[in-house]
Structure 1
Amino acid sequence: MSSSIRPSSDRLLSLDAFRGFAIAAMLLVNNPGDWSALFHPLDHAEWHGWTFTDWIFPFFVFISGISMSFSLARRGQIADRRAVLLHTWRRGATIIALGLLLNLFPYFHFESFRIPGVLQRLGLITLLAAPIALWCGWRAQLAWFLGLLAAYGLVQTVVAVPDAQGVWHRGSLLPGEDVGAWLDRTLLGGHLWVRSKTWDPEGLLSTVPAVASQIAGLLAGRWLALRGRDPAEKATWFMVAGLLCLWAAQVLDAWTLPINKNLWTPAYVFLCTGWGCLVFGVFYWLLDAAPLPRLCDAMARRFQPLVVLGMNALFLFALSGLVARLLGLIHVAEGVSLKAWLYAPIKALPVDARVASLLFALGFVLVFYGIARAMWARGWFVKV
C-alpha cells in the first residue's frame, strides 16, 4: 500500500475516514448559506426525535473514545499510568480552553459569553473518561456506561426543580424545565446559549450521558484491539452491536426518556452508538478488514479525501468556527457582510432556496478540504 494512502502503519485508516466523514458532515450542517432555508435532515430536530445532523456530535464522541482506547493503551505500556492521565487531562483542558476562546471571540465579553460548547464538552468528557479508560477493564467500563445512563435517567425523572419562572416540575422534559436546565441556570446563569438563555444543549448534567457515549467508544476500541480475532469477524460484530443498540434505543424511546439530542437522553446515546457502530463497521470492513487486499487498496483511494479531512479534524473544526464568525463580522459594504456578498451569486440562481443554501455549504466544505489537503501534502498534522 502506498504511503500516500496509508499515512503510517500504526493508524487505523477506517477510523481516520470515519472521523473525516464526521468533520465533513459538521462543516456542511454548520455553514448553510441561509439558516432559514434548510433541508430537514440538515437541521437538528426541534426537540424530541432526531435527524442526520443529530448524528454528528455523538459520532465525534464515539470516535474520541476509540482513539482514547488506542492511545492510552499504547502509552500505558511504556509509561506510568498517572503520567499518562496527567497528559490526557492537559489535552482535555487545552480543548476546553480553545472552546472558551472561540466563544469569547471577537468581543471578549467575559460577563456574558457562553461557557458551554462543543469543544468544552469534548474536553470535559476527556477529563472524566480518562481514568475509566486507564484503570477499568471492559466489564467495569460497561458497568460505568450503564450506571451513568441509569443515574442520569433517574435524576431527570424523580428530582423536582423550578423553571425560569419559579414553577416547580418533576420529570418534565420541556425546554428549560428539566433538572439539567435548572442546574445550568443556577451555576452558569447569564453564560448560556443565546438562543435559549434558560438552558444549554451542551449543559453540565447532560455531560454525564455524553461520558457514556465516550465509554461506548472505549469499548469499541477494546474490541478492535483484541488479538486472535479475524478483522472480518470484528466488522460483523460491529454490525450486530449497532442493530442491537438501535433496538435498545427504540425501547428506551418508547418506555423511558425519549430520543433527544439537547438532553442527550439514554435513548439518544443508544441511537447514536448504534449508528456509529454501523457506519464505522462499514468503513472498517472496506478499508481494514475486507479479505481481498485489492478491495482495501481500491477503497483507500476512494476514501482518501475523508482520510485527509480526518487527520486534522479538531483543527479544521476550530478554524471553521473562526472563519464562519469572521464571514459575518467583516462587511464589504454598508449592511452587507462578507458571507452575504459571497452567497449573493448562489442565492440568485434559479433554484430552490434550500438548494442554494446547500450549495454554499458544499462550497465551504470544499474550501476546507483544500486546506486539509494542503496540510496533509506537507505533513502538517495539528495535535493537542
Structure 2
Amino acid sequence: MTICFMIIVNTPGSGATPFAPLEHAAWHGFTPTDLVFPSFLFAVGNAMSFSMKRYQQIGNAAVLGKIFKRTLLIFLIGYLMYWFPFFNFGGDHITLSPIGNTRIMGVLQRIALCYCFASLMIHYLSKRSVIIASVLLLVGYWVLLLIYGNPVDPLSMTGNAGIYLDKFILGDSHLYHGEGIAFDPEGILSTLPAIVNVVVGYYAGKFIQDKGKGYDTIAKLLLVGCLFIFLALCWNMVFPINKKLWSSSFVLVTTGLDLVILSTLVYALEIKAWNKYNWTSFFITFGKNPLFIYLLSEILVQFFWMIHVRKGLNLYSWINDTIYQVIAPGAIGSLLFALSYMLICWLVGLVLDKKHIYVRV
C-alpha cells in the first residue's frame, strides 16, 4: 500500500496543482502524503522482525557482513538513481553528467542507513536498551537542533542545524535543490530520529508474531498507536510536526498512525476475513518487488522527461496537456495521470510475479 501511494504522490500529472492531500506540507504541518516515507521505514522494520530471526543462528562476522552489504547496496542504488541517466544530452553533444553535482543523500540512502543502525541496535542491544536509545535519539535530535541551529529560529529551513551539517560535510552541490535552495529533507542529522520509525515497525511485527493476531494484540497496538499520536500532538506545541525536518513529533505521529493502520488491517484481514474478492492481491503485487517497482517508477518518469515531442515540450508534459488535462482539467486530470502511471508500474510488477521473478538486495 505504501509503494502504491508513494508512486501516486511522486508522479502527479503536470499542468495543474494536485489536490492538497497529495502534496507534502510546505514546512510545519502534516498531510496524508507525509505518511508515505515513514510508513516505508515502518514496513522495513516490520520485515526485519521476520528476517532477523536467522541472525541468532549465524556468527557475528556473518551478521555484520549481511547488514553492511545490504546497507551499501541500497545506498549505492539510491545514489546511482539520482545520477541517472549519467549523461547530458544537449544539441549535438553528449557529455558525462558531473558526479560533483550528484545528490548524495536521498530516500533509498535514508532507508539504507536506518536499516543499518536499527539492525545493529536490535541485534546487539536488549529490548530495554533499544527503547532507551530510541528515546535518546528523539530527545537528542531536538536538543541538537535547539543548540546548534540559528538562535533566532532554529527550526527554519535555512537556520536548522541539519542544513549546517549537510553543507559542511556534503557541500551545496550534493544536496537536494527542489525547495529552491540547497536543503536536503533526507539529510544526515535528520536520519537519526528516522531510525526510530524502523525500530517501532520491528517491535510491532515481533509483538504480533509473539502474541498472535487476536483482539488483545490489536487493542494493545491501538492503545500504543493512540498514545504516540497524543504525545506527538503535545510535543507539536514546542517541536512542530515537520516531515522535511523529520522532527521527533513527526516520528511519533507517523509511527502512531502506522500502528493504528496495521491494527486495522490485522482486524479486517486476519480476524474478520474481509477479503472476499481478494482485493489485497493488488497491493501484494507491489510488496513482492518493492525496490524494483520503486526504482522503475523513478527511472521511467525520467525517460518521459527526456523524450521531447517538440522543442520545449517533453513527453511527460505532452501526455498531460493533450490527454489528461483535456479530459479532466485541473487536479482531477493530475490525479488520473498519477493513477495511470501507478497502474503501469503495477502491471510490470504483475508480470514479474507471474514469472516468479523477485528482485532482492
TM-score, normalization: structure 2?
0.92
- Structure 1 unaligned residues grouped into runs of 5+: 1-20, 161-167
- Cα deviation, 1:253-298, whole Å, max 9, x if unaligned, reads 01x310000111110000100111111111222223x0x5xx2552
Identical residues among aligned pairs (%)? 30
The partner residue of 2:337 within 337, 360, 363 is 360
SS in structure 2 of the partner of residue 65 of structure 1: helix
Task: State the distance in 2 between where 1:159 and 1:342 align.
Answer: 47
The partner residue of 1:216 within 200, 206, 211 is 200
Task: State the distance in 1 between where 2:51 and 2:307 align.
Answer: 41
On the 8 A contact 1:248/1:270 being kept in 2, the answer is yes
Which residue is equivalent to 2:93? Answer: none
- Cα deviation, 1:355-383, whole Å, max 9, x if unaligned, reads 11111001001111111111111111111
- Cα deviation, 1:272-329, whole Å, max 9, x if unaligned, reads 00111111111222223x0x5xx25527x12110111111111111111101111101
TM-score, normalization: structure 1?
0.87
Aligned residues: CA RMSD = 1.7
Which residue is equivalent to 2:176? Answer: 193
Aligned: 1:79 with 2:58:
yes
- Structure 2 unaligned residues grouped into runs of 5+: 88-96
Task: State the distance in 1 between where 2:14 and 2:319 align.
Answer: 12
On the 8 A contact 1:66/1:217 being kept in 2, the answer is yes
Task: State the distance in 2 between where 1:57 and 1:104 align.
Answer: 21
Task: State the distance in 2 between where 1:24 and 1:209 align.
Answer: 25
SS in structure 2 of the partner of residue 360 of structure 1: helix
Q: CA deviation at 1:171?
A: 5.4
Q: CA deviation at 1:230?
A: 5.0
SS in structure 1 of the partner of residue 101 of structure 2: coil
Task: State the distance in 2 between where 1:278 and 1:263 align.
Answer: 23
Q: Residues 65 and 35 from structure 1, CA distance in 2 versus in 1: closer, same or farther, beyond 3 angstroms?
A: farther
Task: State the distance in 1 between where 2:358 and 2:22 align.
Answer: 29
Runs of 4 or more consecutive aligned structure 1 residues displaced over 6 Å after TM superposition: none
Q: CA deviation at 1:81?
A: 4.0
Task: State the distance in 1 between where 2:119 and 2:186 align.
Answer: 20
On the 8 A contact 1:61/1:122 being kept in 2, the answer is yes
Which residue is equivalent to 2:20? Answer: 40
Within a 5 Å distance, the mapping from 1:105-144 to structure 2 comes to: 105-106=84-85, 107=87, 108-144=97-133
Q: Residues 35 and 62 from structure 1, CA distance in 2 versus in 1: closer, same or farther, beyond 3 angstroms?
A: farther
Which residue is equivalent to 2:263? Answer: 281
Q: CA deviation at 1:142?
A: 1.1
The partner residue of 1:206 within 175, 190, 200 is 190
Aligned: 1:242 with 2:219:
no
Count of matched residue pairs: 349
Task: Letter of the 2:260 partner, please give it.
Answer: L
Task: State the distance in 2 between where 1:348 and 1:186 align.
Answer: 44
Task: State the distance in 1 between where 2:348 and 2:223 align.
Answer: 37
Q: Residues 354 and 79 from structure 1, CA distance in 2 versus in 1: closer, same or farther, beyond 3 angstroms?
A: same
- Cα deviation, 1:145-184, whole Å, max 9, x if unaligned, reads 1111011011111225xxxxxxx53651111101001001
Which residue is equivalent to 1:264? Answer: 246
- Cα deviation, 1:9-60, whole Å, max 9, x if unaligned, reads xxxxxxxxxxxx1000000001111275111000000000010110000000
More deviation, 191-200/342-351: 342-351
Task: State the distance in 1 between where 2:170 and 2:49 align.
Answer: 32
Task: State the distance in 1 between where 2:284 and 2:138 align.
Answer: 32
- Cα deviation, 1:172-201, whole Å, max 9, x if unaligned, reads 111110100100111111211122433210
Which residue is equivalent to 1:12? Answer: none
